[in-house]
Structure formats: C-alpha cells, structure tokens
Structure 1
Amino acid sequence: MTATEILARMPYGKDFLFVDEILKFDENGITGTYLFKRDLVFYESHFENNPVTPGVILTETMAQIGLVCFGIYLLKDQEANTKPAFAMTSNSIEFLKPVYPGDKVWVTSEKTYFRFNKLSCKVTMKNSIGEILCKGTIAGMLIRHGNG
C-alpha cells in the first residue's frame, strides 16, 4: 500500500480532511503533515483578531494521521477497496504550544496496541523547527458497516 492509496481511502470530505501528506509508515507507526491554511473558516471566530487553532482541531489532526491513516495501513488486507470508518474511543492530549494560521505540523504516531481492530497510539505533533506542540495517546476502533 502506498501513501496515495492510504489518503484515497480516508473517510472525510475535503473540508474536514486534516492530512496533506504521509511521509513514512510501517507496522509500528506513521508520520504525516498538515498545513493549517490561513483561510480555514474556524479562524474567523476562534479568538477574533488573534486566531489560534482550536485544541479539538489539533486533536482531530492527530487522530486523522495517527489513528485513521495508520489504521487504514494496518487493515490494508482486511478492508481492501473500502473507506473504513473509525471511531475515536479515547484520547489524552497535552497541549504545549499554540498552532497559528499558516503553521505546518508534523504528526508522528507509534503503535502501543492493535488487537481486534482496536488501535491505541502514542501521538506527537511538532512544528517546522521540531518543537513539540502537543502529545498524548489516542485510541479508536474500526466500525464495520452492514453485516460486519
């Protein structure tokens, strides 16, 4: 499976996709990036005249790269040619530095547990100079549609 194939199977529309590229991945982890474009709609109202990326969006970005993209890769043989759905079951994120409009982030996820389609990962978000912006653990499960 390639990075392009992983991204093609993401279950999000363009307005809620917080992954630009997948840089590397294997059975133990994944790394990807996202650029928080200045024109994202939530910047208009989240701290007017001093926009900052909401923590819920940072968590979503970490989950999309570190849980969903990684889960798609791990389930590549089971879920071929489908867009699997994942549900976040838990997260514990520590926010250390703000992320502003125009910032590019690197998200790295390391597998801590994967069994019975439940995935738990240690996830870190860094900026362009390698500073840790937020870190924590995220867990989720694959949700099968239909008979699954």
Structure 2
Amino acid sequence: MGFGLCTESWLNATIRPTPTEYIQGVNAVKLSPQEILPHRDPFLFIDEILEADEHHTVAKRVFTPDHFFFKGHFPDYPVVPGVILIETMAQAGGAGLGQAGIIPLGSRFVLATIEKAKFRSQVRPGDEAIISIENVRISQMVLRQKGTITVDGTVAAEASWMCILVKGED
C-alpha cells in the first residue's frame, strides 16, 4: 500500500460519517478548535483554523507569556518547548481534518510516531505561530501528516508524524 493521499471517492466511500456527524462541505461552517478537538486548556494549542481541505490545513496560535511551560522553560529566557511545537502541529492537522469533514467529529487520533522533527528557530512568548499541515495519507485507521510552524515568515519547526485511531468507549 502506498503512502499517497487517498482519493476523494475512496474517502467518501469509506470514512465519511453520516451528514449529522460532520460538516457538510469544505469549510461550510467554521468551527472552533474546541468544537473539533478533545483537548482543553492548558493543553489546547490551536487558536484558529484559517484554511482546511482534504490536502492541507493552515492554523494559528499565539503563545502568550502566561502559558504554563514558560515558567520553567526557561525562567530567564522563555522558549516554547519542541514537544509543544510538535503537539501544536498534530493538533492543527487533526482540527483541519475535522473542519474539512474528512474525519468524523469526535474521532480520537493519537500520535503513534514522530518520523522526523527539526527545530530551526525559537518560538518565544507573544509570537504568533502559523501552522501549515500537509495530509500525506488518510485512511480509516491511520493519518500521516507533515507540517511546519513559521513565525514572521521564518520556519521555526518542521516535522512528519503518524497518528492512529483509538476507539473510545460508547
């Protein structure tokens, strides 16, 4: 099985839920990240989904100075931890797929592997991060995505990862 993006007809035939479970059409109704993701404060790292379709997502996050991790990372020179940047990209990817109606709202995908990660510049308190995600592969059980975070047009982080679907209790 290849790792290319699955076709629209395949997605419609296999993983699209009933109309009451997802948003009709790409960006038909703009939802907040809280309406799509199971994450909550202090571990929700997406402020807004700017664009979302079956191929990509663009989201935004402002890392305000009061974020919990700045207190200890590092007190005299606060920097967003790399693991938070990866989590931010993964959340953006999941939120975009929910916003675009590609996966059912309420689906729970969890990180399974981080295939590659590079941190190219620091993200500091007050920085507005633009998160760009590309959907590499989407299936019923597996999501492969890659993404970048930029601040003021400079790439701060890039990564590729895989998530798997976990079944919740009914």
Alignment of 1:55-74 (within 5 A): 55-66=82-93, 68-73=94-99
What per-residue deviation string (whole Å, max 9, x for no partner) do you get for residues 25-51 of structure 1? 111011000000101111111122111
| Contact kept? 1:113, 1:120, Cα under 8 Å | yes
Q: Read off the aligned partner of 2:82 and give its amino acid letter.
A: G
Match of 1:135 in 2: 158
Instruction: Output aligned runs, 1:29-68, within 5 Å.
Output: 29-66=56-93, 68=94
C-alpha distance in structure 2 between counterparts of 1:135 and 1:144, whole Å: 29
Distance between the aligned counterparts of 1:9 and 1:87, measured in 2? 14
Unaligned runs of 5+ in 1: none
What's the Cα RMSD here? 1.9
Structure 2 residue 128 is matched with structure 1 residue 104: yes
Residue 17 of structure 2 is matched in structure 1 by: none
TM-score (norm 1): 0.86
* Matched residue count: 142
Structure 1 residues 108 and 78: alpha-carbon distance in aligned structure 2, compared to 1, 3 A threshold: closer
Please, what TM-score do these two structures have when normalized by structure 2? 0.76
Structure 1 segments of 4+ aligned residues over 3 angstroms from their partners: none
Q: Is the 8 A contact 1:122 1:136 kept in 2?
A: yes
Query: Is contact 2:42-2:68 (8 Å) kept?
Result: no
Q: Which has the higher strand share?
A: 1
**Residue number in structure 2 paired with 1:86:** 109
Unaligned runs of 5+ residues in structure 2 are 1-22, 24-28
Query: 1:22–1:51: structure 2 CA closer, same or farther, 3 Å change rule?
Result: same
Percent identical: 28
Larger radius of gyration: 2
**Partner residue in 1 for 2:168:** 145
